[in-house]
Structure 1
Amino acid sequence: MCSGNEDTESAELSADELPMSTGAPIEARTLYYVATPIGNLEDITLRAVRTLREVDVVATEDTRVTLGLLRHLHIGPKKLVAHHDHNLASSVPKLIELLEGGASVAVVSDAGTPGISDPGLALAAECARRSIPIVPVPGACAAVAAISVSGFVSTEFIFGGFLPRSGSGRKARIAEMVGERRAVVLYEAPHRMLDTLGDLKMAGAGGRGVVVAREMTKLHEEFHRGTIASAHAWYAAIAERDGKLRGEFAVVIAPLDAATLEQREGEAAAVAEERATEAVRARLAAGGALSRVVKEAALEFGVPKAKLYAEALRQKEALRGVRESKE
């Protein structure tokens, strides 16, 4: 359920009583973000069809893909504007000009919901800045589809999109994903899939549960359930057999279980206490006042003052003994 409403009614409602309505007419000077199927053309919504039929302009990642969709839906000639990562500098101003001239514009991606891991965000940001209305026309979304069938019991998840392809940014994001306690959804291209699973495994997440969804809603849809290590071995074998991996992937990493969370929290607390203790020793040796040193270290490292106070007293006594022996 993606209604955002936690209240449910068990009694049956007549059509007139349903808390829904038919769509409002398409408005001039309005931007519509229209979700399209991620593979199965039957997943298009009635509202999406009507919106695409009635708007003046359709902004699209790939005009060829969108033309094919429009033909399938029996939608006649439509003004299309290419809008992708490589032409944002020209496409955003062009679409803004059309909108401010009174046109209604629909934005579509090649598959799924626009604005999710695609160039749609730049146009939405500019429209929001100019107070141009933006209307969502919801539908298919690979991330939501994958998490919904993952089988992982979690009321929260993180959407990671596509990871950086290389460099320090990629390493940092991998570390974030491995340390994340909630479920994580990633997208990945077939030629980078093994690298991503391998990097996650090498970063310490090999034993973490995972569901890898490939070609969702399409004829050869499949789901691999196991650990990150087993998924890496599975797809490495497929790549060796077939020469390469094919299809689009969504990866759902399981949330951390309670035992692992407790272990990690204990390890983190031990490290923090050790660092705080070292800071107390160094600052007392430098002549700092005991109460101030303990208070500052407790705040800095998130360690209870009581634990640090006992160590500070021992350190203070040790320093006094050193001074007396020198005298």
Structure 2
Amino acid sequence: MLVLAATPIGNLGDATVRLVDALRTATVVAAEDTRVTQRLLAGLKVENRPRLVSLNEHNERERIAELLAIAADTDVLVLSDAGMPTVSDPGYRLVTAAVEADVRVTVLPGASAVPTALAVSGLPTDRFAFEGFPPRRPAERRALLAELAREPRTLVFFESPQRLGDLLADLAGAFGAERRVAVCRELTKLHEEVVRGTAAELAAWAADGVRGEIVVVVEGAAPVEVSAEDAIAQVLALVASGTRLKEASAEVAEATGLSRRELYEAALRRR
């Protein structure tokens, strides 16, 4: 079977007992970067030397058939450089192909930057959406942020330190200068830092550059204060423009915080 295993995101002390046991017994490891995996083995004092197969964003499609053939006879341990494979890291296509081929897939849970940053951010954790790395091109990034401006869930992004200042400036422009943000830097490492403030404040803080691995957590949009009558009118306007009633009700409910079912039923009565 395929065994997806989370690796430490910084501090080797976060390696689970199950990960160490798996590394000690593995015969084949599909690794995002084989050099990083070799350092992991050395750091955890694992003497086993499994066969290392490179599995990264550039070769994942080509490796699928080979790895599934191996998994038919023995377990294949799948590792990314840090955190959980498939989460903004290689492995998703391999898992999809394994499911289609009826190859068993299991997980050794452990460290992940997304829930770690979310937990320490001080922002709501009951509902959140992970957006991965935003587009590098400014126009594409701003277009994405414009789409997310009314998203009520807490948002989590990965970003490179070189582009962090630009992202925060665009967040302030799209979401409003006062939207609360937490920048989590070097999580679990020696120089761990969490900087909290408004989008405008953190854009100014990051303008001269920031170093390290970055996770950005952004407060969700507050519900728009609107009367039930106005909300129903918005639903009907969307329907008139070609949106299905179910989708129109859901869209307005998400933006206003009103009940989707009640909006649907009220709009249905007035059609």
- 1:203 CA drift (Å): 1.2
Aligned to 2:69: 97
Cα distance, 1:115 vs structure 2: 0.9
| 2:213 alignment partner in structure 1 | 248
Structure 1, unmatched stretches of 5+, are 1-29, 240-244, 281-295, 310-327
Query: Is residue 85 of structure 1 aligned with residue 57 of structure 2?
Result: yes
Aligned length: 253
Q: Deviations over 1:10-38 (max 9, x none)?
A: xxxxxxxxxxxxxxxxxxxx111010000
Aligned to 2:141: 170
CA distance in 1, matches of 2:101, 2:165: 43
* Deviation string, structure 1 residues 127-184 (Cα, Å, up to 9, x no partner): 1111111110000000000111122234111111111222765344212332210111
CA distance in 2, matches of 1:175, 1:38: 31
Which protein shows a greater Rg? 1
1:109 and 2:80 are equivalent in the alignment? yes
Q: Structure 1: which amino acid aligns with 2:234?
A: A
Q: 1:266 to 1:251 in 2, by over 3 A?
A: farther
Runs of 5+ unmatched residues, structure 2: 250-262
Within 1, Cα distance between the matches of 2:154 and 2:233?
Answer: 25
Native 8 Å contact 2:36 2:81 kept in 1: yes
For residue 185 of structure 1, the aligned residue among 148, 152, 156 is 156
TM-score by length of 1: 0.69
Contact 1:298/1:308 (<8 A) preserved: no
Return the offset for 1:56.
Answer: 1.3
Aligned counterparts, 1:118-129, within 5 A: 118-129=89-100
Q: Residues 299-314 of structure 1: matches in 2 within 5 Å? A: none
Q: Which residue does 2:223 correspond to in 1?
A: 261
**Given the alignment of the two structures, is residue 214 of structure 1 paired with residue 185 of structure 2, yes or no?**
yes
Aligned equivalent of 2:257: none
Q: Is 1:131 matched with 2:102? A: yes
Cα deviation 1:33-76 (Å, max 9, x = unaligned) = 01000011111000000011112111111111110001122222
Check conservation: 1:154, 1:255, Cα contact below 8 A. no
> Given the two structures, how large is their TM-score scaled by the length of structure 2?
0.83
Asked if residue 231 in structure 1 is aligned to residue 202 in structure 2, the reply is yes
In the alignment, what sits opposite 1:324? none
CA contact (8 A) 1:298 1:305 kept: no
The structure with the largest helix share of the pair is 1
Note the alpha carbon deviations across 1:178-210, whole angstroms, 9 max, x for none.
Answer: 221011111111122112111111213321111
Distance 2:180 2:231 in 1: 25
Q: Deviations over 1:214-234 (max 9, x none)?
A: 010111110001011111101
Contact 2:232 2:267 (C-alpha < 8 Å) held by counterparts: no
> Secondary structure, in 3 states, of the residue corresponding to 2:115?
helix
Residue 308 of structure 1, CA deviation: 7.8
5 Å-filtered alignment, 1:281-292, equals none
Deviations 1:82-133 (Å, cap 9, x if unpaired)? 0001112322222112112x02110111111111001110111111111111
**Could you tell me which residue of structure 2 aligns to residue 150 of structure 1?**
121
- Identity over aligned pairs, percent: 39
Tell me: higher relative CO, structure 1 or 2? Use CA pairs within 8 A at least 6 residues apart: 2
Q: Which amino acid aligns with 2:51?
A: K
Q: Relative to 1, partners in 2 of residues 1:269 and 1:105: Cα closer, same or farther, differing over 3 Å?
A: same
